[in-house]
Amino acid sequence: MNKAGTTDRIRFATVWLGGCSGCHMSFLDLDERLVELAEAAELVFSPFVDTKEFPEGVDVTLVEGAVTNRANLAMAERVRERSRIVVSLGDCAVTGNVTSLRNLFPVEAVLAPFRAEDGRSGKAFLDYTSIPELLPRALPLHQVIPVDGYVPGCPPDADRIWEAVRALLRGEPVALAESMRTFG
């Protein structure tokens, strides 16, 4: 039984890892289809809702973004542990994409400009100790945890997301048509 007092809605989550949130913006472009989704699914965790902890017993989780730092890594592992189906949403989760552009350089070289001191204040531009440590490389989600489906695109447009979500709501695997599975 979920909070709404019904048992027929699936427990649905979306997670934002190393991405620009464009995939989540595209998700909002589902527009009136969001109403249909809300009838079939309860959004138990997402940047759109105010749940702090990723809950147990989630049916479907869409993950945006590459796994680029330790917080992403811990979150990805928790998502896998607690979700029945995990789907990579968008190119950063699927391929690493723009988030992984930094893989061409060692982490130290990537961070050097942020560690540099501001000429006026004498302080570093960024207090790097306060943000999660970068992994040596930004990784596609499926290189970190087993993934059950892929929705490529940067961002995947709302029609693609809806195709995938509809299949998931029916309990079917994500199988996008050719025109809906291009990268980029």
Interacting residues toward another protein by CB under 8 A: 88, 91, 94-98, 100-101, 103-105, 137, 140, 142-143, 147, 150, 152, 154, 176, 178-179, 181-184
Q: Which is nearer to another protein, 44 or 87 (CB)?
A: 87
Q: Which is nearer to another protein, 42 or 148 (CB)?
A: 148
Q: Tell me how far, at minimum, the Cβ of 92 lies from another protein, in Å.
A: 9
Q: Which is nearer to another protein, 78 or 142 (CB)?
A: 142
Find the angle CA(74)-CA(147)-CA(36) to the nearest 5 degrees: 100
d(CA 139, CA 176): 23
Long-range contacts (CB closer than 8 Å, 24 or more residues apart) made by 130-137: 131/69, 132/69, 132/70, 132/71, 132/72, 133/69, 133/70, 134/68, 134/69, 134/107, 134/110, 135/67, 135/68, 135/69, 135/70, 135/72, 135/73, 136/106, 136/107, 137/100, 137/103
Q: Tell me how far, at minimum, the Cβ of 151 lies from another protein, in Å.
A: 8
Q: Which is nearer to another protein, 1 or 104 (CB)?
A: 104
Q: Tell me how far, at minimum, the Cβ of 8 lies from another protein, in Å.
A: 30
Q: Tell me how far, at minimum, the Cβ of 184 lies from another protein, in Å.
A: 3
